[in-house]
Amino acid sequence: MSAATALPAAAATSPLPSQPAPFVVALDPGHGGVPNDAHPDQLFDPGAVSNTGSLEKDLTLKIALQLRDLLRVDGVKVVMTRQDDRFVEISQRMSTANQAHANLFLSIHLNSFTDSTAHGSVVLFPVEADRLLAETLSAALHRRLQNYGFADGGVLPKFDLWTHAAMPAATVEAGYLSNEADAQALDRAVVRDTIARALRDGIELYAPQIARIQTQTAAFRAARVAHTATWALPGLPSPRLVLAGTAAIVMLAAALRQRRRLAFVAGIAGGFYASFLSPNRRPARRRRAGGVRPRRRTAAMPTISARVPRAPH
């Protein structure tokens, strides 16, 4: 029988499940770029500026990076239109999302208005089909931000933005930098983190397949680990035996070459095997727990006759 036909029946009859495709979210931190005196024609867009001196481009990037990390923890693949302070054209932002075949596009902005009393969050949507996404995000923002005094501005159509999106899209205006209370709140890291968490909640509520993909991915990884653990060719030594033998050989080679550091490392490896991997570790622990002390070997002493000096002839 060949090695190929001698694989365990479970491995042959139970193939690994296919790994699910990830859910892809494109995040677009609004604005960006810095002026360059050496190149006055270089474009930059700071966005709105608060009375505290905070720039919209910096705050939106911080929120987007926090949201990116939260989504990645939940198994979402995140594509960023920018990850640092640079100017990116509107068309390039949309192209990045389309080329990544994103399942959802979210642009993050902060608002500004001539009336400084306007405050709170607003979510814009480009087409009527994206209203549900906007409403879900708006509700999630309201749930988390109401404790910080942010008003719920609801949703509004914005039919001249992201018209070429090949996926559901929305623009979040998380607060007004022209409003003193909103601006001071947005300067706080805890508020920006709350906005990121609210947007994560809204995205995952709108797309419940994210949770299903996460469960399927966990099952795939567990099956792969089990498949790898049970896969073995008959006649080959067990992994534990290979580990113990390798540790012994390395220790012997180190001792012969007087490389104490390598011998020390190998000794640790052997001790680790004996303590945790050896199949006999439990009986040994039971013997120690029962009070049976291991017999200590002592060095051989010379006999009396060997120690008494011989009489001269």
The answer to whether residue 52 is domain-embedded is yes
> For the segment 43-70, what is each residue's pLDDT rounded down to a tens digit?
999 999 999 899 999 999 999 999 999 9
Q: What does 38-49 look like in DSSP terms, one character per residue? A: T-TT---B---B
172: amino acid identity, one letter: V
Asked whether residue 313 is assigned to any structural domain, the reply reads: no
Question: Among residues 167, 182, 213, which one ends one of the domains?
Answer: 213
Q: Are residues 104 and 195 in the same domain?
A: yes
Tell me, yes or no, whether 54 lies in a domain.
Answer: yes
pLDDT value for 264:
60
Q: Tell me if 183 is assigned to some domain.
A: yes
Spatial CB neighbours of 204, under 8 Å, sequence gap ≥ 6: 74, 210, 211
Looking at the fold, whether 206 and 242 belong to one and the same domain comes out as no
Among 173, 198, 213, the domain-final residue is: 213
Do both 120 and 257 map to the same domain? no
CATH of the domain at 200: 3.40.630.40
Task: Note whether 187 and 80 are same-domain residues.
Answer: yes
Domain of residue 70: give its range: 24-34+41-213
- Number of domains observed in the structure of the chain: 2
Question: Is residue 203 located within the same domain as residue 246?
Answer: no
Q: Mean pLDDT per segment of 10 residues, for the chain of length 313 residues? A: 47 66 97 90 93 96 98 98 96 96 98 96 97 98 96 95 94 98 97 98 98 89 72 54 64 59 59 55 49 48 45 50
pTM of the complete model: 0.69
